[in-house]
Amino acid sequence: MLRINNIKIRKDITDYEVLETAIKKYGIQKEDILDWHIARKSIDARKKDDVHYSYSIDIQVKNENKYKKLQKVKNFEMPNIKIKKNLTTRPVVVGAGPAGLFAALTLVQNGIKPIIIEQGQSVEKRKETVDTFLKTGKLNLSSNVQFGEGGAGTFSDGKLITGINSPFCRKVLEEFVHFGAPEQILYLSKPHIGTDYLIHIIKNMREYIIAKGGTFHFDTKVVDFEITNHHISGVYTVHDQSEEIFQTEHVILAIGHSSRDTFVKLYQRGITMEAKNFSVGVRIEHLQEWINQAQYGTITKLNLPPAEYKLAYHSDNGRSCYTFCMCPGGVVMASSSESNTIVTNGMSNFLRDRQNANSALLVNITPEDFDSHSPLAGIYFQKDLEEKAFVLGGSNYFAPIQRIEDFLKNQKSERIGIVKPTYQPGYTLANLNEILPNFVSDTLKQGIQFFDTRLSGFANSDSILTGLETRSSSPVKIVRNENLISNISGIYPCGEGAGYAGGIMSAAVDGIKCAIALLEDN
């Protein structure tokens, strides 16, 4: 294929009309084209008086020598896997989030039949359980926004943006499309799927894995590990109060960042781990129309998608404030996984058609902030904040919220303005300064005021802060070597919970890498 870059489009036209514009610009004969597809599509909104789409198109032509000015496209190829098929036991994948699912998918695609153990429910049942919590405040401790098939990312914006540079990123995108995602994720500069699509995609992935010989055990909690001569030999589980051990020599440990009791058990069993940096803060909500206007201006006639933003601020004292997991046209989600705690996250469906935009607004935390040198200290730091938020919200799973104006003035909010909170099952007007560490609230205030100079209206008085966001990443890293194996032979720490990913894409890629490491090293 040959690539045509920098195709600027300033009106809403069909993909075929984009192609016609491109070939006309570069003098390409239509009859020479054998095949074509969009390679990339992005929005250029740097100049508000000239907001436009920028396209790249790949074409296959009869005679490439006629078009030497166009660059050749290197096709994606999966690295060759040197499989050693001498497994004496089936590998166990603990956790069915993006890392676990893509690890299992990679194994079955290479003839290995894994056992997947997930403490939460299948994604269809999990959706019903989450909906019940949002309506009634009745929390299922085993299956919720954090736990269950698909992982925490299922109830998010479904972003597939990542800072990693891996050939497996393309593999992940293509697999998502194969299992039901819109093809546009293959070429959009900021691809996302949305919760509504993810639920169906994950179900399709599971059915494929089962058809290829994989076995899923839902509502099944891993409670201990059997280690023999410094090598994993079994995984103890509980399902419906019945205990069972799965004998295995290989475990891909894709447990997610909220599996706190599993981290404790691993630490007790001598798995090497260390505390790592993470972040805490709040969710901020604006009207989506404010964000659209700030990003796109008011002149463009293009029918543009809901606008996004990504902002960062670095203070003089070494703290940073930044936005994370921004959800256009979405809602703030109740994301608790433990009793008497409040945790928030953001979620959007594919169309991103709700009234508000929301984003995490976070401040960095380092191990130096803890009173303990334990690798688990970050977990207790998070939990302390979550329990304080629960009390501040009324001890009924209502979230404490505050208008930005009141947060900046350090006073309790007494009313709601233009922006209506989206958090369910409910909210309580509060002063979030009362529960946040001073260095967090001070840095948030500095960041909010700085961001207002970069994104007009960010500090609008009626914007809503919802507390708290504590689970943006894992506070623990499970140490692994160059072969992706922990100090206990046969255990492959994997994904976001183990400290090696920061979103759906990077977690899925890490799942693929751990599966390949298992295949090549058994």
SS3 state at 273? strand
Query: CA 238, CA 169: separation in Å to the nearest integer?
Result: 35
Identical fold at 2-72 and 92-274+477-521?
Answer: no
Q: Average pLDDT, stretch 193-198?
A: 96
159-177: pLDDT as tens digits: 999 989 898 999 999 999 9
Residue among 141, 136, 92, 137 nearest 114 (CA): 92
Mapped to the 3 state alphabet, what secondary structure does 243-256 carry?
Answer: EEEEECCCEEECCC
Domain map (residue ranges) of the chain: 2-72, 92-274+477-521, 277-469
Where helices occur in 144-211 by DSSP H, the ranges are 168-178, 195-211
Residue with structure tokens 């902030």? 369
CA distance 211 to 198: 20
Q: What 3-state class would DSSP assign to 93?
A: strand
In this predicted structure, the answer to whether residue 521 has a pLDDT above a threshold of 90 is no
What average pLDDT does this structure show over 26-35?
Answer: 92
Mean pLDDT to the nearest integer, 236-255? 97
The per-residue b/e assignment along 240-263, b for 16 or more CB within 10 angstroms, e otherwise, is: eeeeeebebbbbbbbbbbbbbebb
C-alpha dihedral over 43, 46, 51, 56, to 10 degrees? -40
Average pLDDT over residues 173-189: 97
Whole-prediction pTM: 0.96
Secondary structure class of 409 (helix, strand, coil): helix
Q: Is the pLDDT of residue 77 over 80?
A: no
Q: Tokens 């058994």 appear where? A: 522
- Note the pLDDT of residue 25: 87
What's the rounded mean pLDDT across residues 266-292? Answer: 97
- Compute the average pLDDT of residues 221-241: 97
pLDDT digits (tens, 9 = 90+) for 126-138: 999 999 999 999 9
Question: Domain 2-72 is of which CATH architecture?
Answer: 2-Layer Sandwich (3.30)
Determine what percent of the chain is predicted with pLDDT higher than 90.
92
pLDDT at position 378 = 97
Residue 522 has pLDDT above 70, yes or no: no
The whole-chain average pLDDT of the chain stands at 96
Q: Cβ contacts of residue 36 below 8 Å, gap of 6+?
A: 19, 57, 58, 59, 60
In the block, residue with structure tokens 């920028």: 54
Nearest partner of 374 among 293, 449, 263, 487, judged by Cα: 263
**Predicted confidence band at 180 (pLDDT cuts at 50, 70, 90)?**
very high
Q: Which backbone phi and psi does 195 adopt, to 5 degrees?
A: -60, -40
- Whether 208 shows a pLDDT value over 80: the answer reads yes
| Secondary structure class of 12 (helix, strand, coil) | coil
Q: What's the pLDDT score for residue 316?
A: 87
The single-letter DSSP state of residue 386 is H
Give the whole-angstrom CA distance, residue 256 versus residue 145.
Answer: 12
Average pLDDT for residues 235-259, to the nearest whole number? 97
Pairing label, strands 2-9, 71-72? antiparallel
Does residue 85 register a pLDDT over 70?
Answer: no
Q: How many CB atoms lie within 10 A of CB 162?
A: 18
The rounded distance, in Å, linking the Cα atoms of 23 and 7 is: 10
Share of the chain above pLDDT 70, in %: 99
Instruction: Report the distance separating Cα 484 and Cα 80, nearest Å.
Output: 18
Q: What is the mean pLDDT of residues 267-296?
A: 97
Angle between helices 195-211 and 98-109 (to 10 degrees): 30
pLDDT tens string 384-435: 999 999 999 999 999 999 999 999 999 999 999 999 999 999 999 999 999 9
Distance CA 469, CA 258 (A): 13
Mean pLDDT, rounded, for 51-56: 97
Confidence of residue 11 (pLDDT cuts 50, 70, 90): very high
What pLDDT is stored for residue 226 in this prediction? 98
Rounded to whole angstroms, how far apart are CA atoms 181 and 204? 11
Q: Using one digit for the tens of pLDDT, what is the confidence trace for 480-518?
A: 999 999 999 999 999 999 999 999 999 999 999 999 999
Which of 39-51 are b and which e, b meaning 16 or more Cβ less than 10 Å from the residue's Cβ?
A: bbbebebeeeeeb
Write the CA distances from 318 to 361, 439, 452, 471, 475, integer angstroms.
Answer: 17, 11, 21, 21, 19
Supply the CATH classification number for the domain 92-274+477-521. Answer: 3.50.50.60
The candidate with the shortest Cα–Cα distance to 225, out of 241, 239, 245, is 245
Distant-in-sequence, close-in-space partners of 497: CB < 8 Å, separation ≥ 6: 95, 97, 99, 253, 254, 255, 256, 257, 258, 259, 474, 476
